[in-house]
Structure 1
């Protein structure tokens, strides 16, 4: 019987899952197979031996394989079996829930689509088209849901297979894989870095994934929760199971698939900010709370293995834990750019909910520790500090008089419960034994945990110290009482309007917004030196000004309540001038977060929130270094920098720069801006931290994170990096705990390599390569702008041939799809947000933001050479670039992936939605020609004509998905026609069908925005 550290407030009864008494029906697609295919007896014996030694059945496949060739051939067999198995369960569900006729229809469409896609059967394509056009509304929704859920289940199977393969490699003793910490540490050791140098580097490092609520997460939380449970149950099937256990597992999976089918896939109402906050917190429960402390512990073990001298310490002690360089950030609740639904109240709600989650987790961990640390002082000595902690506890039970650890933990629990009540207003689920004083801060709580740790380590309890309490200690350092730092963000135009109103009301300046930049700076700096405030308590300001001032006041209060890390960054979108930054400094002064005076030696300026510019457009990126130089040149700003640890962050926008200038130019201008910023900050001896506003798709700066970080220009990482995790990418990366831990490890490993192995980013011909890249960028920019912004009618083509209007109506998130509400007459590409822009191109399978302009750029560069010899030399240079320059090779690798996901045949169906025949033919012909040219030029450079030739696993995954995406795309086009023509009387049901197809296509592509 376990010993609690608190009184339980109630009991929960659990009911065992009901076991199905019916046999598992096998749909037509599964004839000749079973849910658990039999293995040869010898193979089963080998698997059993390996499993008995701690490995799973799937892990043991490597022992059962007869040869390396067979292992290679069979490595994806478990994935295919999982997909077939889940597909059978889904087929059973469709038959049971919708009837035999519905199942037959879905199966006929599936077989026809597979024949069309995989066998290139044109007759099957025509048949598929006829089948889909004849569907009724109810049949359409049934088919769409079936194919959408198949994509969801295939994603779950792929994630499980990735986990399985990693374990197989680990069991086989394979060399560390790229992206792993072990591989990074080996490379760092080989480069001559010592363990002491590495620890010093990590003491100063900061790596922060930042979760954002960009509107591309198409799944409801109810669906995500059900899919997490399916993933857990599927992973169980790799464990040794009795026949009864496997039957029970199958029954549970069948139940969860049924839950999916019977759960509404779409939201009835647009998400509120509070919903987005709760959705994000679910990933902490699944992944981050356990995953980050575990990753830190494993990293310490790996460092000790590679750098054994770093483990030396006093007897009975361990080296100091690594500094909490890996932390979490969030925009959800603080990002107001284009989202009027984010207010001071949502910021407060975000902080309170975050604190409630982490405090509840700490309380649960302390309660569990009370059950585990049952040691008696009659059996083992404890430290004097632990005795003092136990004596201070309000628990005076005679039953625990000889159990100092439990008494200490009961006292800590009581203090933490009081702290939780104070910070969140919520009582602990398990009531403490008495009311005591709360902890003043997380550091005080951590000090008590350290007392327990030290006593265990010095009194024969090292094994215990390395278990749950070690993870708790790490978590406190990482999460504090606030869980994640909440960034605030607003567009610069709003700040200008607020300052203009404050100046006008105070009689400082009647029309601040109309002033030239130099005069604005002069006024702002003069006001910063004033001891009095601008704001007047009895003046009636506009709603916008009141709301903006309230945000700053709330940030100040939250810092006092939860600690300074809860709110420490303020991001200014669309930063174009120095005054955009100084305006936020002045607003901090008005809220009491800027104290002292710029330039004063006796009372230097100290600013609580770091002012962070976001450079988004191509022009903004080109001006970035100049603006930051002006900021660093401000008299007295050195004291502000010093207050922030001689660090300054700069954010770079990938999505908007791509939408503004195209894929190639966006990447190149980001690269150049980073280099210019590094040069500036090194000269000023200020540490630069770049915040990468990456999205999910390549068009928004996405692609594999490991390669993306390694391809950064030399000197731009240096142990400091923040990067956004957006929309549906949060789910794909972090819904599965093991996949999530692996993604975090990849970010850390890449940061270490990019920082400590800088020579890999500097090919000897770098200067020449950069010159060629500039020429490519200029030509790609011209081609992209000519299509998107200079082609008459292009905006009409875009709105007609993509589901952008329907996406805006999809209840994806709390943020509008455009910064400005648009009607048909006034809508502009410029006003559309970059995220739904990319989302829409993905839906129609063109993915234009990820490749357009590259082909024209390369062809122009080659053709402009004066003779054949020069043309060959140009191509040779491009080939050297892809082989020796990580930036260029990553660029092409990402583009290769996008081209593989593009489908011109499907896209041509969307083009038919444009009723202007001449416009349709003209624009689609240009897009099609550029795609072919881009593919040809990529092949010319790489020598590979097949897409993803160097990534066969991804190529197979994409190819297999296409057959299940085709029906969804075809139906989406048909439904768009019906809905926009108004031919169907039930518009609500047709619109729901459109939204279901959007959900399914997004799931099938695994990146939607």
Structure 2
């Protein structure tokens, strides 16, 4: 501990220091403690190698000769320890930054650090005209709908994440100015203890997580953050709506957030997600929701110790207590003894018992649905308010009401996703049993035939004979069961991947008719348009689908509310980031126009990822760049992998993220914003066409190089990513070792692999050719200022290039053995960087984002060092001939991949 005794802070002076310095203090403290742990563990030689590596990357640029000298002589086991030490450092830096953001938000910002102003600034004043509050009525129409997915981009093990949470807790204790020197010393001791645990914890998963593991991971996010975040968000919205003193009157803000999930429901490409997994997932979610609600109702109820003399209950509340005493006399007697003459408390304690009964499946005492629980809570509110206890009525009790309204008994709205080709194969099997169908394969895509089956039903003799067909039908039966058990909101959306024709959409309803007959089933089919061609044809497909009688009947039953999903991952992989961005904008504009013609209330579901090549970047800025009419107060988006924990790992950070998203959605719907966006899109329509053509040509010239997919696999850890066991889903669609096709590579590992090569191709490739083809710097600068879409595109490219490294990318690409691919990537990288800086009128990347630039710079040296380790491991692994050597170098590679992912953060 002697090495750390000087790390005790003078909290009085520390609080007065610039925010950036306080972050640097935390990072320095953690690094010194980590160094001490390494020495104590007998890994002092590892520490020396790490220092040599960092010395080689300090200053203006990495000294690759020194980097090689520091690593080339090390054996695999030594290099694995070096990679592990660097990875631990990244985790600690990320933790320090996360805590720092929370500190800045809580303190209201630091005027001496302009980079933190956006994070600290209240997001709500961006709405409407300056000085005017938000119209409360707008919240009735507003809907913010994050959907958690299990897409495998979070490289950390849960054990590592748990250790980091404990370290963060000890940092909070150490940083608390109210604690004395003795307590701070205890916190330092516990910090070093937890760092030792982290160092000795295996960073690689030994088994692939099951879908159930993924569900439990998501439950921790709800438990730790989301359930607590929602009431705080709504209180913040009340202040924005001009409520002078929230919590003293009925709320003016309707609950506008809904959480969805694909975890346990997304079976597209994941054979491990079955109907039984989906059924169990629904049960796990309900158990979580009811457990939390039971505790919350009990907790709030026990605070309502207002006696009947000071706060007389309403007649309705007295009647409710009388009815409860008849329904459950033993409980009523016990509650009356423990809460004498406290009627409001008694009602909520009865409600808590009924929630527990619902959780246990005790039908006689259970609530039939969340509406019944809400009725009891509102009855208590109205009685309290009538007696003059307004704060008790609309304080914590209102928080509880908001939680029930938001999460119900189901927690998150579980969605099913399946590939259209799976439905077509099952329908072909089933239609083969129907006379006069002709070719069952062609009939499986015949929208008119499928519409008739969905409407009139199937012949009685048709049945599922294959395991695949039984599984598809059982999934639909589980959806029907869930709605009977937990209500329509629990599970009712069915996303169809690769929706390419009307038959792909009506197929789900036809299969549902065979699965459940005429039993009640609310089934909202959500088409997913992903590739460039599918996005261009999206409204044509919807027109054909809308004309079908089964579609019109369903649309009438849901007040013509339609959801359409657009995919960012495959579209970018298909046509490149620039064309994908422009194509997505065009598709969304046409979808909004289609909805207007059809009288549809359209919700666009954005399949964004965390990476810069999958629609990542600041979500609130991307919202403001959407086409006019495409948001219309509704925003639904996927949240996956490392993004879930980055945005929702802390209540304060999660609240601010959702505040910014909400404010952006409200602002995007204003007439002024829509008029500006429309005018800019019209003004720069020709520019968009030229950018699209040039970028698409450059991108296709790259990916059409013969053997391109094999080159990517050889020059990156693409194949090895699957061995990180980040998720239950397989990494790619086929098992070919050579002759890979671009379509065979899943979009997420594709982006993840490119980030590891330090080229980050999916985030920027083709932009340089596009800007150069236009050639008019003045025009491009004007467009970057006035056209939000181009501004957002340049922002993503700038961040992506800032996390790239040309020299390291060249060394990785050389492993692929294709001089043409290497030349095209590096030439386009140079061209893009040059033109991007010119258009942005900057000398360096991120010059206008000093906070972001500092965060990247703080990691760059460590990431470069780990990339060199990864290069050595890739070379040795490719050359190894015996299994022992292969296994040893594969471990080095995977630890390095894990560390680079932690260092770059938005990798997949």
Do they fold alike, i.e. is TM over 0.5?
A: yes
Q: Which residue of structure 1 lines up, in the alignment, with residue 313 of structure 2? A: 382
The verdict on how the C-alpha distance between 1:173 and 1:879 changes in structure 2, with shifts beyond 3 A counting, is closer
- 856, 868, 891: which one aligns with 1:970: 868
Structure 2 counterparts to residues 236-635 of structure 1, below 5 A: 236-240=173-177, 241-305=179-243, 318-320=249-251, 322-391=253-322, 392-393=324-325, 394-397=331-334, 398-422=337-361, 437-514=365-442, 520-530=446-456, 532-534=457-459, 536=461, 539=463, 541-592=465-516, 608-635=522-549
Partner of 1:814: 728
What is the TM-score of this pair, normalised by structure 1? Answer: 0.85
Cα drift, residue 181 of structure 1: 9.5
CA drift of 1:646 comes to: 1.9
Residue 706 of structure 1 and its aligned partner are, at CA, apart by 1.0
Question: Secondary structure at the residue paired with 1:955?
Answer: helix
Q: How far does the alpha carbon of each residue in 1:564-623 deviate from its partner, in whole angstroms, 9 at most, with x for none? A: 10112111100111111111121222233778xxxxxxxxxx971111110000000000
Asked whether 1:220 is paired with 2:151, we answer no
Unpaired runs of at least 5, structure 2: 326-330
Asked if structure 2 preserves the Cα contact closer than 8 Å seen for 1:503 and 1:534, the reply is no
Aligned partner of residue 977 in structure 1, secondary structure:
helix
CA distance in 1, matches of 2:459, 2:673: 48
Other-structure match for 2:328:
none
For 1:651-730, what aligned pairs fall within 5 Å after superposition? 651-730=565-644
Are the structure 2 counterparts of residues 412 and 546 from structure 1 closer, same or farther at C-alpha, using a change threshold of 3 Å?
Answer: same
**Which of residues 842, 849, 852 in structure 1 aligns to 2:765?**
852
Deviation at 1:405, TM superposition (A): 3.0
* 8 A Cα contact 1:728 1:1007, kept in partner: yes
Contact 2:23 2:100 in 1 (8 A): yes
Query: Displacement, 1:96?
Result: 1.7
TM-aligned CA distance change 1:390 to 1:771, over 3 Å: same
Report the Cα offset of residue 410 of structure 1.
2.5
Give the structure 2 partner of residue 603 of structure 1: none
CA contact (8 A) 2:608 2:614 kept: yes
Structure 2 residue matching 1:487: 3-state secondary structure:
strand
SS of the equivalent of 1:304 reads coil
Q: CA deviation at 1:179?
A: 7.8
Matched, 1:639 2:639: no
Map residues 988-1003 of structure 1 onto 2, 5 A cutoff.
988-1003=887-902
Q: 1:120 Cα shift?
A: 3.5
For 1:105 and 1:810, the matched residues in 2 are separated by 23
CA contact (8 A) 2:109 2:120 kept: no
Tell me whether 1:140 sits opposite 2:64 in the alignment.
Answer: no
Q: Give the conservation status (yes or no) of the 8 Å contact 2:145–2:635.
A: yes
Partner of 1:105: 46
**Distance across 2 between alignment mates of 1:509 and 1:542:** 20
> Partner residue of 1:428?
none
Q: Distance in 1 between matches of 2:603 and 2:837?
A: 36
3-state SS of 1:119 partner: coil
* Residue aligning to 1:778: 693
Return closer, same or farther for 1:361/1:527 CA change in 2, 3 Å cut-off: same
Mapped to 2, the partners of 1:690 and 1:540 lie a distance apart of 34
Structure 1's 88 and 516: CA in aligned 2 closer, same or farther, altered over 3 A? closer
Matched, 1:923 2:799: no
Output one character per residue of 1:8-53: Cα deviation in whole Å (capped at 9) or x when no partner: xxxxxxxxxxxxxxx4434xxxxxx8212336xxx55xxxxxxxxx
Q: Structure 1's 535 and 251: CA in aligned 2 closer, same or farther, altered over 3 A?
A: farther
Residue equivalent to 2:800: 898
Cα offset, 1:469, TM superposition: 2.1
SS at match of 1:699: coil
Distance in 2 between residues matched to 1:174 and 1:906, nearest whole Å: 32
Counterpart Cα distance in 1 of 2:182 and 2:302 = 32
SS at match of 1:762: helix
Cα 1:582–1:540 change in 2 (3 A) is closer
TM-score (norm 2): 0.94
Q: Distance between the aligned counterparts of 2:400 and 2:78, measured in 1?
A: 52
The 2-side partners of 1:635 and 1:588 are apart by: 15
Structure 2 CA distance for partners of 1:760 and 1:886, relative to 1, 3 Å: farther
Of the candidates 743, 746, 749, which is equivalent to residue 660 of structure 2?
746
Deviation at 1:991, TM superposition (A): 1.8
- Contact preservation (8 Å) 1:112, 1:125: no
For 1:378-411, what per-residue CA distance to the aligned partner results, in whole angstroms no more than 9, with x for missing partners? 4432323333334425231435332223322332
Query: Partner of 1:688: helix, strand, or coil?
Result: strand
Task: Determine helix, strand or coil for the equivalent of 1:355.
Answer: helix
Cα distance per residue 1:506-537 (max 9 Å; x no partner): 335242323596xx12322232332x434647
Structure 2 counterpart of 1:987: 886
CA 1:332 to 1:81, structure 2 compared with 1: closer, same or farther past 3 Å? Answer: same
Quick check: 1:206 aligned with 2:143? yes
| CA distance 1:952–1:399, change in 2 (3 Å) | closer
Q: Tell me how far 1:561 sits from its aligned partner.
A: 0.3
Q: CA RMSD in A?
A: 2.5
Partners of 2:371 and 2:696 in 1: how far apart? 52
Shift of 1:759: 3.7
Q: 1:114 aligns with which of 49, 54, 69?
A: 54
Distance 1:323 1:508 in 2: 54
Residue pair 2:710, 2:738 contacting (<8 A) in 1 also: no
| Per-residue deviation, residues 345-402 of structure 1 (Å, max 9, x unmatched) | 1111111111111111011112323432223324432323333334425231435332
> C-alpha separation between the residues in 2 aligned to 1:847 and 1:385?
64
Tell me what 1:650 maps to.
564
Q: Which runs of 5+ in 1 are unaligned?
A: 1-22, 27-32, 45-57, 66-73, 424-434, 596-605, 863-873
Residue 254 of structure 1: how far off its partner (Å): 1.9
Correspondence for 1:731: 645
Shift of 1:635: 4.2
Structure 1 Cα separation of the partners of residues 82 and 498 of structure 2: 43
- When residues 458 and 172 of structure 1 are mapped into structure 2, their CA distance, relative to the original with a 3 A threshold, is farther
Q: Secondary structure at the match of 1:698?
A: coil
Match of 1:157 in 2: 96
SS in 2 for 1:971: helix
Q: 2:65 aligns with which of 123, 126, 132?
A: 126
Q: Does 1:36 align with 2:14?
A: no
* Residues 183 and 978 (structure 1), Cα distance of their counterparts in 2 relative to 1, 3 Å cut: closer
Aligned residues: 896
CA contact (8 A) 1:663 1:851 kept: yes
User: Secondary structure in 2 aligned to 1:483?
Assistant: coil
Partner in structure 1 of residue 3 of structure 2: 25
Alignment of 1:1008 with 2:875, yes or no, is: no
Shift of 1:785: 0.8
Contact 1:359 1:481 in 2 (8 A): yes
